[in-house]
Amino acid sequence: MRATHRLTAATVKKLITTPPERTKYVPDGGGLHLQITPAGTASWVYRYQLHNRSREMGLGGFAAVTLADARAKAAEAARLKAAGIDPLGQKQHARKTAQREAERRLSFAAAAENYIALREPGWSKPNAEDWRSSIRRHAASLGRLDVSEIDTSHVLNVLEPVWTKKNTTAMHLRARIENVLDWATSKGHRAGANPARFTGHLENLLPKVQEKTANRPALDYRAIHGFMKALRAEAGDVARAMEFIILTGARTSEATGATWREIDLAGKIWHVPPERMKVHVAHDVPLSPQALALLEALPGEHAPDNRLFDSVKGKQVSDVVLSGLLRKLGYPLGSVTTHGFRSTVRTWLSERTQASPDVAEAVIAHDKRPKVQQAYERTRFFEQRVPLMTQWADFIDSPDARVVAFVSAA
């Protein structure tokens, strides 16, 4: 009888049609056997000796693996054994490696949801909804991709259609993609540089967009006392939101989206997280005694995730609602805007204090220093801003602007 290739397709078929009473191993040679059970199932196994121990490695069922394929698998196993490698150990190692690879695989959609769920406890509800909505609307093409497969071309395909048309939206979207991929890297689902990073990467591939700015009608700072007196006579969250905007010099969305988690009453600081800032850099706002008194007097439970201010419908106060309040106070459309109060604060800083331009810009969360200077001088001038915010609040409360002394804040 031949030492190898003893079996034929016809022989195998006959053996299967007449199952044995007990499991039977029919040799083909070279360690390859056809295993047949009393139930009539048949499979290929490679039997061998290693370190004086008998070992057996499955090569697949007869229905799925042909005789020729089984012989090829047995020959490869024999080659490994001759090289001093345990074929079964090699197979188990390969299986575990494949399992680990499968466990590391994660779609971008799943990664995004995991990241949002991780951060959501510290966010306002509208912010979490905005994250989900923007990724679903603009980054759908990334959704099914494994995070390990996402490269620069995938990110550009998402950003380019909106980069010049809706640049602010695109910038927020890019930062969110970067955050999700950074999380995926930390969790071991991907490796290498983040393809959504801007500095030194996407900034070289995307067109420069000149931000269109328009001067918002602003109230003269010398008229702020009378305006604030009328504003404080108005009851409700909308009026308090506008008062808070004026006292802090904050952007409308930053103030109306603020939650109690961001407020440190003891430290007299409002911590605005990066995801709620226009340039995605965290910003600490010193709270004057007047701002603290306003917050402490607000009704409600002040739970960490509750907003400071809500509209009468229980939603975030909108620009439209704030504009309506201005009309009610006697300021016609186009004469004064809520955003314009930032200009009011900035002009007061220039004309009534000795604050340096850098410090004055930091008060309203601007930073016009060159990028290199920003990188080396990371200060946000917080200590210099503390007395300025109190002086601004005191100026507002003074019926005569001329009695307010100059403030030194270099």
Q: Domain segments of the chain: what residues? A: 9-104, 108-204, 221-403
375, pLDDT greater than 50 = no
What is the pLDDT at residue 253?
Answer: 92
What is the pLDDT at residue 125?
Answer: 76
pLDDT band at 199 (very low <50, low <70, confident <90, very high): confident
What is the pLDDT at residue 407?
Answer: 38
pLDDT mean over 391-405: 72
What is the pLDDT at residue 378?
Answer: 44
* 146, 181 Cβ separation under 8 angstroms: no
pLDDT mean over 385-402: 85
Question: Does residue 105 or residue 379 have the better pLDDT?
Answer: 105
Cross-strand partners of 42? 36
Question: 31 in the Ramachandran plot: left (φ > 0), alpha (ψ -120 to 50) or beta?
Answer: left
Choose the CATH number for 221-403 among 1.10.357.10, 1.10.443.10, 3.40.47.10, 1.10.1380.10: 1.10.443.10
Decide whether 9-104 matches 108-204 in CATH topology: no
What is the pLDDT at residue 54?
Answer: 83
pLDDT band at 408 (very low <50, low <70, confident <90, very high): very low
Amino acid at position 203, single letter: E
Q: Which CATH superfamily is domain 108-204 in?
A: Tyrosine recombinase, N-terminal domain (1.10.150.130)
pLDDT digits (tens, 9 = 90+) for 308-330: 999 888 889 998 999 999 999 99
pLDDT digits (tens, 9 = 90+) for 112-129: 999 999 988 877 777 788
- The answer as to CATH 1.50.10.10 being correct for domain 9-104 is no
pLDDT band at 101 (very low <50, low <70, confident <90, very high): low
Report which of 224, 240, 233 is spatially closest to residue 297, judged by C-alpha positions: 240
> 77-80: which pairs have CB atoms within 8 A and are 24 or more residues apart?
77/31, 77/46, 77/48, 78/30, 78/31, 78/46, 78/48
* 177, 142 Cβ separation under 8 angstroms: yes
pLDDT-above-90 percentage for the chain: 50
Report which of 220, 224, 249 is spatially closest to residue 399, judged by C-alpha positions: 224
- The packing angle between helices 382-397 and 224-232, to 10°, is 80
What is the C-alpha separation between 76 and 105, in angstroms, rounded? 29
* 264, 271 Cβ separation under 8 angstroms: yes
Report which of 173, 174, 165, 172 is spatially closest to residue 198, judged by C-alpha positions: 174
Residue whose tokens read 């360690």: 31
Residue whose tokens read 């609040």: 393
pLDDT mean over 15-43: 88
pLDDT mean over 133-150: 91
What is the C-alpha separation between 109 and 138, in angstroms, rounded? 12
What is the pLDDT at residue 399?
Answer: 66
pLDDT mean over 224-234: 93
* 195, 156 Cβ separation under 8 angstroms: no
What is the pLDDT at residue 218?
Answer: 87
200, pLDDT greater than 80 = yes
Question: Does residue 212 or residue 270 have the better pLDDT?
Answer: 270
Q: Average pLDDT over the chain, rounded to whole? A: 86
What is the pLDDT at residue 212?
Answer: 53
Report which of 357, 341, 340, 339 is spatially closest to residue 349, judged by C-alpha positions: 357
Give the CA angle between residues 44, 45, 49 to the nearest 5°: 160
Strands of 53-61's sheet in order across: 24-29, 32-36, 42-50, 53-61
pLDDT digits (tens, 9 = 90+) for 40-71: 888 999 988 887 788 888 888 888 898 999 99
pLDDT digits (tens, 9 = 90+) for 259-309: 999 999 999 999 999 888 887 888 999 999 999 999 999 998 899 999 999
179, pLDDT greater than 70 = yes
pLDDT digits (tens, 9 = 90+) for 146-171: 999 999 999 999 999 999 888 888 88
